[in-house]
Amino acid sequence: MNAAELIIELEARGVLIESAGDRLRVDAPKGAITPELREALAACKAEVLAILNTSEDEIEWRVGAMLPQIPDVGAIPFLLARQTETIEPNCCHSCGDSLNGIAGYICGPCSQAKHRALEIAFRKRRNVVVGKLS
């Protein structure tokens, strides 16, 4: 597993991973990080930090685009970083950028931006619900 795939796997498990200088800041639900994932993270820490540090600007503009889409109350819609006419195969459903062979429907920067936008919304104590209620 390469560094980009590891970041996506961790985020899919609800893990928030950020760079803090030359250290990684990881906030994970209990049991989300297996011993194998912990070893993989330690093995490619430098590559993960490089990805996180170089993509910070990309993440920030996505957060800025996503925050206004989060309502003060009610369910949160699928957050879009950029409005696109159609979603091409192998492209991110949020911004339309190529997934570059990575499995999934959302790119790494959009996934990180979504987590940050939701974290900001919850910190502001908005009465929001993730997902659609039946």
Give the residue extent of every domain in the chain. Answer: 1-54, 56-134
With a cut of 70, which residues of the chain have pLDDT below it? 54-55, 103, 123-134
| pLDDT attached to residue 22 | 85
75-105 pLDDT tens trace: 888 889 988 777 788 888 999 888 877 767 8
| pLDDT attached to residue 19 | 82
Closest C-alpha to 48, from 62, 61, 37, 57: 37
The CATH label, of 1.25.40, 1.10.10, 1.10.3470, 1.20.1070, for the domain at 1-54 is 1.10.10
Round the CA-based radius of gyration of the chain to a whole number and report it: 15
DSSP string computed for 62-73: HHHHHGGGS-SE
| pLDDT attached to residue 34 | 93
pTM of this structure: 0.56
